[in-house]
Structure 1
Amino acid sequence: MRLKSGIFVSALLRRCQVEGAYAMVRRRGSEEAGAVFVKVAPLDGTAALYGPAPQSEIDEAYPADRLFGVVVAPGSPEADSEARMVKEMRFDPDLWLVEIEDKQGRHFLDLAKD
């Protein structure tokens, strides 16, 4: 059974805090099953955006794992991430958006293998 989105986001925020990165919830989605997107801004005018990995990337041996994929590549202009999130919010009003500000560009997520 997968963790509720609200619990996952709380844990991510705490992990960021422990590691010395600043993180905030920019958009609160459905507590139970809202999709989670994470924007990482290294404070240099660029950003990366991570979103739920495609179902084909989920390991059937570990179906409860929450995996992410790159939606906007690191080093892209920050406006690209913002524009993509506008589209995502129109498509899914129940999504979560977490923003992490970290000079090292760390995301603290499990990424699906390419």
Structure 2
Amino acid sequence: MSALRSDIWCGVFVRRHNDLGNMCVVARRGDPIAGQVFIEVDHLDGTRSLFTPAPMAGRPDDARLVFQRRFSRVEAAKVSERIAREIEFDPDLWVLSLDLRGDDVGIDLA
């Protein structure tokens, strides 16, 4: 089974969180077919977390996107700096921005 297109996955993620009452937006559009997806979570207490795609070796054999927690509740500048560095390396990157007081982003973690 092939992986779901990035634009469709991101659209569903944003819609699901907005339907749940969590503010979620596409902060940066990447390649619609196969762009990597980063999820930046603002915990509304001055801290942010960052979720990035898990390495291929740690993923199950199906088409789901699996993430790893890169940063957990750190200052916003650290997350922004990491995203900026990644965009220099991969201009096809998607960035989703989510306001969430808790820690359950609703994604599969490696």
The TM-score bracket by the shorter chain reads: over 0.9
Q: Partner of 2:87 in structure 1?
A: 89
d(CA) in 2 for partners of 1:90 and 1:42? 26
Aligned residue pairs total: 109
Please give the residue correspondences for 1:15-54 in structure 2 after superposition, counting only pairs within 5 Å.
15-54=16-55
Q: Partner of 2:56 in structure 1?
A: 55
Give the deviation of 1:83 after TM superposition.
Answer: 0.7
Give the deviation of 1:104 after TM superposition.
Answer: 2.2
Q: Which runs of 5+ in 2 are unaligned?
A: none
Q: Partner of 2:70 in structure 1?
A: 71
User: 1:39 touches 1:100 (CA, 8 Å); kept in 2?
Assistant: yes
User: 1:40 touches 1:106 (CA, 8 Å); kept in 2?
Assistant: no
**Structure 2-normalised TM-score?**
0.94
Q: Write out per-residue CA displacement over residues 24-63 of structure 1, whole angstroms, 9 at most, x where no aligned residue.
A: 1110000000000000001111000001100111112x2x
Root-mean-square deviation over aligned CA pairs: 1.0
Q: Partner of 1:4 in structure 2?
A: 5
Taking only the aligned residue pairs, the percentage that are identical comes to: 34
d(CA) in 2 for partners of 1:97 and 1:107? 14
Q: Which runs of 5+ in 1 are unaligned?
A: none
**Structure 1-normalised TM-score?**
0.91
d(CA) in 1 for partners of 2:81 and 2:42? 15
Give the deviation of 1:90 after TM superposition.
Answer: 0.5
